[in-house]
Amino acid sequence: MIQPLTLNTPNTIEFGIGKIATLKDHLKSSRRIFFLVDGPIRDTVEPVLLKIESEGAAVQVSTEVVPEPPIESLENLLAPVKAFDPDTVVGIGGGSTMDLAKLVSVLFTGEQTTAEIIGIGNVKQRPVKLITAPTTSGTGSEVTPIAVLTDTAAQLKKGVVSPHLVPDVAIVDPELTMGMPPALTAATGMDAMTHCIEAYTNRYAHPVVDLIALEGIRLMAAHLERAVTDGTDAEARTAMALGSLYGGMCLGPVNTAAVHALAYPLGGTFKIPHGVSNSVLLPFVMHFNLPSCTARYAEVGRAMGLKNGGELNESLAKRCIGKIYNLSECCGIPGSLQDLKVPESAIPSMAESAMAVQRLLGNNPREVRTEDAVAIYTAAFHGSIG
Amino acid sequence: MIQPLTLNTPNTIEFGIGKIATLKDHLKSSRRIFFLVDGPIRDTVEPVLLKIESEGAAVQVSTEVVPEPPIESLENLLAPVKAFDPDTVVGIGGGSTMDLAKLVSVLFTGEQTTAEIIGIGNVKQRPVKLITAPTTSGTGSEVTPIAVLTDTAAQLKKGVVSPHLVPDVAIVDPELTMGMPPALTAATGMDAMTHCIEAYTNRYAHPVVDLIALEGIRLMAAHLERAVTDGTDAEARTAMALGSLYGGMCLGPVNTAAVHALAYPLGGTFKIPHGVSNSVLLPFVMHFNLPSCTARYAEVGRAMGLKNGGELNESLAKRCIGKIYNLSECCGIPGSLQDLKVPESAIPSMAESAMAVQRLLGNNPREVRTEDAVAIYTAAFHGSIG
């Protein structure tokens, strides 16, 4: 029996090479537009900004984006945006940029504080139009109801989840991702892969989400290495952009699980990029989860192209975990926390921090207790799977 | 290479048993609500209406829905709605009801006439919130940018296509479909099946649409007979509702093809219900299209559960067409135009009318000329496939 589900998605998703050209159409009725743009992409969007300004709209542009954005960097943005008083907010960049743009769009009027909206369902409204366009293929933030901040004091990442954070328009143009260097392509790609795998093997897995999660895995397993090797490979970039979009579509209705929960302290404390944290932890969490979702991991393996010559699911699932580990390695992502210079002595406090992320741990197919988190981090520290 | 695509969808899709209860949440900020409701469902939604009124919103309800709605029946609705001046329009019913509600929402202010908006992209704006909830599993209109009217003078159906017709919220509650009698279940179910098949085998087929089209076919092939046999089978009703929703999602980006084009005159001239027209024509159009999409029909056959013991695609595709014919027959739908009392002498003029629907014929995988349309109608008249 198919269970009830709520899907919140942008009214319009523009997908494909060249679609960034539609941005001006979606801004036709906007008079005051605030753009938050990743520095490196600024030159690419400059002609669009000039065109919009020449047609009489007021434009304010900021490139003040800090990766894994701390709460303070969000708050620094609010006053100038309030003074500008936009009717539209546009975020063009990676996950940090889009998350910040989403948060600015609901906070700039000052009616709610950042502290008030952290958590699930606490945003009251969004008074402006919101448009996002990703320049990486990983976050999926362009379509999700989620934005993540770093609480520097608590050394932990905190999530804001609300349907008001779902943009009106998402423009997913693979051409914008062509400038990504190989390491960023790899890390963000593995992040997207993690979204799909954690959604598909989620305690709250749903057939509507399974369909796109498996397709995302299929697309990305077939194209990630190509995109890393040759960043100008339009076919690979397009497949990765679609896989990442599918990953994002999974996050609203089902969301992620233990990989993301355990990754949060790595970002919060050691400033390790989100995609790298996820990628390093993914095979170790899968190994821990194996008894609880053997058949589903076997299916992930099939979607990744593993041939099944009549072997049992357990053996196929184990090969799937190995393939994930190898894919990450082939893409040049470090294979252990040790390689990332995370000290082994930090594991107990990271485990404690991760346990606070019950919002995501509750989705995990197998219950994670503190000692399990310690064991997973320890295995990931040494980079050796069971 | 994955080609560019624009997806226009409701911001919120509430799917599943019991979801109609969310209607009042989506009306929280509405003060004046116009409801267009299918007569038979009026009692079911009455408690919701009373609750909304008791909380201070003004409510106007109409059950003035004519199946395969003629332009006049739309125009009769406009004046009272203009006088009421709603901020929200809600359509609860079958395809005709939802289509009318969608058209009322963009026309009631009187800024555009019906004639002006017929065709693609002619609607200028929608000044009100729009919510749809289907009581059949067939049309998919709850999520599409399309509404269809009968031009009584021209004896032809005419389509209005615009992103402004995509509702803000679609509530797809299978419980609302439980009252459908077997014949309506069958006809609307085959309509939804036709949406998925014509999208999957479309000249403009796209991998994003293929994914949901095939899943829709899978779901509906496995559950249509069950839903027809036992209308209270919640599992079957839920699967059909999801299949129909997927069918609807295919219509915006890819849309239908020759089956729908050839069905239009059957509705326009002989008032044959849309789903029945499609169902009767589907196997005959598939037979005509066979040389142009053999592999895809074979894939449809696999999605319908046909086992492939190493046979060639052509043989599997032919069995697929047979299975479609049988499915329709098992569900009690007449097998020929003859059975529907359409006179053979009407075929030449129907073929001529169908040729006017180039908007859809252009999507067909094989070019349809007037003589082809005559041949397809003739085969369908006799009910014998090739």
Instruction: Please answer yes or no on whether A16 and B10 come within 8 Å at the CB atom.
Output: no
Q: What is the pLDDT of residue A269?
A: 86
Contact B89, B105 (CB under 8 A): yes
Q: Looking at the complex, does the CB of residue A19 fall below 8 Å from at least one CB of chain B?
A: yes
**For chain B, what are the domain ranges?**
12-177, 182-382
Q: What residue of A is the nearest CA neighbor of B14?
A: A6
Q: How far apart are CA A380 and CA B152, in angstroms?
A: 71
Tell me, what's the ipTM? 0.95
Contact B174, B134 (CB under 8 A): no
Q: Looking at the complex, does the CB of residue A155 fall below 8 Å from at least one CB of chain B?
A: no
- A170: three-class secondary structure by DSSP: strand
Mean pLDDT of the B249-264 span: 94
Give which of A5, A29, A165, A246 to mutate to test B binding, by max B Cβ within 10 Å: A5
- Residue B46 tokens read as 């009455």
Angle among Cα A348, A354, A357 to the nearest 5 degrees reads: 155
How long is chain A?
Answer: 386
Instruction: Please answer yes or no on whether B166 and A15 come within 8 Å at the CB atom.
Output: no
- B8: three-class secondary structure by DSSP: strand
Q: Looking at the complex, does the CB of residue A11 fall below 8 Å from at least one CB of chain B?
A: yes
Q: How far apart are CA B130 and CA B87, in angstroms?
A: 9
Query: CA–CA distance from B142 to each of A8, A127, A337, B101 (Å)?
Result: 15, 26, 49, 10
Q: How far apart are CA B353 and CA B343, in angstroms?
A: 16
> According to CATH, what is the number of the domain A12-177?
3.40.50.1970
Q: What is the pLDDT of residue A386?
A: 63
The residue among B270, B240, B197 whose CA lies nearest residue B331 is B240
Closest chain B C-alpha to A17 CA, distance in angstroms:
6
Burial bucket for residue A125 (CB in 10 Å: 0-12, 13-18, 19+): exposed
Provide the total of helices (H) and of strands (E) in chain A, helices listed first. Answer: 15, 10
Q: What is the pLDDT of residue A309?
A: 80
Residue B36 has pLDDT above 90, yes or no: yes
Instruction: Please answer yes or no on whether A242 and B208 come within 8 Å at the CB atom.
Output: yes
- Minimum-distance CB partner of A4 among B10, B12, B16: B16
Query: CA–CA distance from B38 to each of B4, B176, B177 (Å)?
Result: 38, 11, 12
Angle among Cα A276, A238, A319 to the nearest 5 degrees reads: 50
Q: Which residues pair with B34 in a beta bridge?
A: B60, B89
Closest chain A C-alpha to B85 CA, distance in angstroms:
24
- B291: three-class secondary structure by DSSP: helix
Q: Where are the alpha helices (DSSP H) in chain B?
A: 23-26, 42-54, 71-84, 95-107, 114-117, 182-200, 207-229, 234-251, 258-270, 274-289, 294-303, 313-330, 347-355, 358-361, 370-382
Q: Calculate helix-pair angle for B313-330, B182-200, nearest 10 degrees.
A: 160
Q: Count Cα atoms within 13 angstroms, Cβ side, for B292.
A: 16
Torsion angle defined by CA atoms of residues B321, B322, B323 and B329, in that order, rounded to the nearest 10 degrees: 120
Taking only the tens of pLDDT, chain A with its 386 residues reads 999 999 999 999 999 999 999 999 999 999 999 999 999 999 988 988 999 999 999 999 999 998 889 999 999 999 999 999 999 999 999 999 999 999 999 999 999 999 999 999 999 999 999 999 999 999 999 999 999 998 888 777 889 999 999 999 999 999 999 989 999 999 999 999 999 999 999 999 999 999 999 999 999 999 999 999 999 999 999 999 999 999 999 999 998 999 999 999 998 889 899 999 999 999 999 999 999 999 999 999 999 999 988 889 999 999 999 999 999 998 999 999 999 999 999 999 999 999 999 989 999 999 999 999 999 999 999 998 76
Classify A182-382 by CATH class: mainly alpha
Q: Calculate helix-pair angle for B274-289, B182-200, nearest 10 degrees.
A: 40
Q: How far apart are CA B375 and CA B317, in angstroms?
A: 20
Report CA torsion sign: A279, A281, A284, A288: negative
DSSP string, B175-229: GGGTT--HHHHHHHHHHHHHHHHHHHT-TT--HHHHHHHHHHHHHHHHHHHHHHH
Instruction: Please answer yes or no on whether A15 and B239 come within 8 Å at the CB atom.
Output: no
Q: How far apart are CA A324 and CA A329, in angstroms?
A: 9
Q: How far apart are CA A132 and CA A34, in angstroms?
A: 12
Q: What is the pLDDT of residue B386?
A: 63
- A168: three-class secondary structure by DSSP: coil
Query: CA–CA distance from A56 to each of A51, A53, A86, B124 (Å)?
Result: 9, 5, 14, 21
Residue whose entry in the numeric block shows the structure tokens 């003040």: A64
Confidence of residue B156 (pLDDT cuts 50, 70, 90): confident
Q: Looking at the complex, does the CB of residue A254 fall below 8 Å from at least one CB of chain B?
A: no
Closest chain A C-alpha to B224 CA, distance in angstroms:
15
- Using the 8-state DSSP alphabet, how is residue B232 labeled? T
Q: How far is CA A317 from the centre of its chain?
A: 24
Query: CA–CA distance from B88 to each of A113, B49, B166, B368 (Å)?
Result: 31, 13, 14, 42
Rg (CA), chain B: 20
Q: What residue of B is the nearest CA neighbor of A19?
A: B4
Neighboring chain B residues of A236 at a CB cutoff of 8 Å: none
Neighboring chain B residues of A4 at a CB cutoff of 8 Å: 14-19
Closest chain A C-alpha to B2 CA, distance in angstroms:
7
Give which of A3, A7, A220 to mutate to test B binding, by max B Cβ within 10 Å: A7
Contact A123, A79 (CB under 8 A): no
Q: How far apart are CA B146 and CA A164, in angstroms?
A: 26
**Phi and psi (nearest 5°) for A201?**
-105, 25
Q: Which residues pair with A159 in a beta bridge?
A: A148
The model's pLDDT over B205-246, given as tens digits with 9 standing for 90+, comes to 999 999 999 999 999 999 999 999 999 999 999 999 999 999
Instruction: Please answer yes or no on whether B12 and A14 come within 8 Å at the CB atom.
Output: no
Q: What is the pLDDT of residue B21?
A: 93
Q: What residue of B is the nearest CA neighbor of A125?
A: B29
- Residue B340 tokens read as 């529907």
Q: Is the pTM of this model over 0.90?
A: yes
Q: Where are the alpha helices (DSSP H) in A14-146?
A: 23-26, 42-54, 71-84, 95-107, 114-117
- Which residue type does A46 have? E
- Residue A75 tokens read as 């708050």
User: What count of other Cβ atoms lies within 10 Å of the Cβ of residue B271?
Assistant: 11
- Residue B47 tokens read as 């408690």
Q: Which residues contact B375 (CB under 8 A, 6 or more apart)?
A: B288
